Structure 1
């Protein structure tokens, strides 16, 4: 429960975002559709995917006959979860499950090496794994868990796989990076003076910060890639207010019936993410933040080049990255 006025303000802001998100999901439910089509020559990499929205994303990508690489904490369990909804013996898609803890930089590097060894080209990277409203915890690398898991780990993974993404993109068919963010990025703030929130930690504030960071990263990386002339585009997505176990630390667990009535199902939540990854209508239109398969309202900071650049450089410094996408340099 909130203890200070600042925490109560954050809680009110989140509830307001949630209410607006539910309204948006209802009003635009007819637009929230994705057309699946066969793409047997494409490789998609997704973090998470063993449950919730991610599991339904994987199901759709396999239906497109893609090769899908899942980075998950428990590969055997994840494969078993996928096999419960997809007949892996009959699908023309191919599933590969690799171990990944996106909150651990060492694990991210090992996962990236494994992917690089298997594929010289990657068509789609879906930065999907995440946590929400978790108690205060520092990762093994010394970063607050929301910032590390939701943002920094994915920032590092994108850096490590960017050459493979560039290799797959071509004129008229860009490779795509999709960052699964949230509507609460609208009330986020990057606390550069205390990025771990160690002085006054509140789970919702940390979560909001990590989700804003994802959208700022999306905007700036897409600008860089466009200026380079690279055939890679980047999107951020709010999947909707979805009934998954991501809400385990939320007050909504006290009223599960309301979630089933008003929240999206995981299948519905997966649609906009897959839309961002494959929709022909989005070709060449990177840098967008999407909700219900349409452009949505963004935080003012995301339209400010300098503020986007500041976080990008700050993140590179934290990870000792001299030139983003130039692995080993």
Structure 2
């Protein structure tokens, strides 16, 4: 009997590994196997927590017609449902996307834009290009004196190895460095948007995989060795370290801005297109959150009054979640922040100049 149970358990684990691995190909080296096993473990923890804390995953929407929000991406998946909620709050929502026409069509499938009391503005932005980020940031600086919320949402996951036009590994460029530069450019507007007891907010959409991330200072672009999950994990830890350092700095300055990192959950979106889960879409429908459910924690971080003046946190299912040990060490957070400034050639973060 024990032998049968053991064989069944091994078979179940093997099947889960085969169908949920981060690449459509099997790992080839011990390092890749180890990375996959760690990812599978943290993914199962994430699924379990999404189920266990699903009753907490709620956000109350309320009218805020005076607020102006900038969000990167938003033409698919979680981002679409975030924008739907923000427009329901009657906010002015500025989308930065690569294809504005397609984005307007996508949002229009969820929101009656002609009759919505919220306002949608769509601008061109490729967050993986620092030149595009600079152009978008300057346009926002010129057109909006103040901002209330910045949601760094756009991202990729488990993509094949690619260097951007700026020479950065694509996960690091799109998930983190583009948003790092954009935050620098818009920080003055966010400070003007906040006031005592009513902070502006910066939301970095991260992931539970920050817990198994590692910053490779000696080869940040992974030119010597690359595995998609490693690139993704590194970029998500980067967002957490940035969140922690920036929030601490703003608190010390007395600036009316707070910063949060958010794990939306394990969500059924096309970000999983590069993984083996495409073989079993029914499993994703059963086990993963819907995009609407995934949007709740992000919007919670952006608007919920219960977390006012409680920045620097990592939120999951609308409550605090565990962070990587390095994120609890402010010296390590500062080290990475300074490293990021060097990468994008910034001398005075937050002054908006490029």
When the two structures are superposed, what TM-score results if normalisation uses the length of structure 2?
Answer: 0.92
Corresponding residue for residue 33 of structure 2: 8
**Aligned match for 1:311, one of 320, 336, 340:** 336
Corresponding residue for residue 300 of structure 2: 275
Q: How many residues align structurally?
A: 329
RMSD: 0.7
Quote how far apart the aligned CAs of 1:254 are: 1.3
Corresponding residue for residue 171 of structure 2: 146
Aligned-partner SS, 2:335: helix
**Quick check: 1:87 aligned with 2:87?**
no
**Aligned match for 1:244, one of 249, 253, 269:** 269
Corresponding residue for residue 321 of structure 1: 346
Structure 2 CA distance for aligned equivalents of residues 147 and 20 of structure 1: 24
Structure 1 CA distance for aligned equivalents of residues 352 and 267 of structure 2: 36
Structure 1 stretches of 4+ moved >2 Å: none
Corresponding residue for residue 155 of structure 1: 180
Structure 2 CA distance for aligned equivalents of residues 328 and 162 of structure 1: 11
Structure 1 CA distance for aligned equivalents of residues 33 and 239 of structure 2: 24
**Quick check: 1:29 aligned with 2:54?**
yes
Quote how far apart the aligned CAs of 1:327 are: 2.4
C-alpha distance after superposition, 1:49-71 (max 9, x if no partner): 00100000000000000000000
Q: How does 1:195-214 map to 2 (within 5 A)?
A: 195-214=220-239
**Aligned match for 1:226, one of 223, 231, 251:** 251
Structure 1 CA distance for aligned equivalents of residues 27 and 122 of structure 2: 39
Structure 1 CA distance for aligned equivalents of residues 49 and 143 of structure 2: 41
Quote how far apart the aligned CAs of 1:131 are: 0.3
Corresponding residue for residue 316 of structure 2: 291
Corresponding residue for residue 164 of structure 1: 189
C-alpha distance after superposition, 1:107-162 (max 9, x if no partner): 00111111112111000000000000000000000000000000000000000000
Q: Tell me, yes or no, if the aligned pair for 2:185 and 2:353 is still in contact at 8 Å.
A: no
Structure 2 CA distance for aligned equivalents of residues 162 and 173 of structure 1: 16
Aligned-partner SS, 1:235: strand
Quote how far apart the aligned CAs of 1:265 are: 0.2
Corresponding residue for residue 132 of structure 1: 157
Structure 2 CA distance for aligned equivalents of residues 221 and 117 of structure 1: 24
Structure 2 CA distance for aligned equivalents of residues 195 and 58 of structure 1: 32
Structure 2 CA distance for aligned equivalents of residues 7 and 311 of structure 1: 25
When the two structures are superposed, what TM-score results if normalisation uses the length of structure 1?
Answer: 0.99
C-alpha distance after superposition, 1:202-255 (max 9, x if no partner): 010000000000000000000000000000000000000000000011111111
Name structure 2 gaps, 5 residues minimum: 1-25
Name structure 1 gaps, 5 residues minimum: none
Structure 1 CA distance for aligned equivalents of residues 119 and 211 of structure 2: 37
**Aligned match for 1:106, one of 111, 121, 131:** 131
Corresponding residue for residue 186 of structure 1: 211
Structure 2 CA distance for aligned equivalents of residues 129 and 322 of structure 1: 25
C-alpha distance after superposition, 1:163-197 (max 9, x if no partner): 00000000010000000000001000000000011
Corresponding residue for residue 63 of structure 1: 88
Structure 2 CA distance for aligned equivalents of residues 143 and 70 of structure 1: 24
Structure 1 CA distance for aligned equivalents of residues 143 and 316 of structure 2: 33
Structure 2 CA distance for aligned equivalents of residues 302 and 2 of structure 1: 29
Q: Tell me, yes or no, if the aligned pair for 2:47 and 2:266 is still in contact at 8 Å.
A: yes
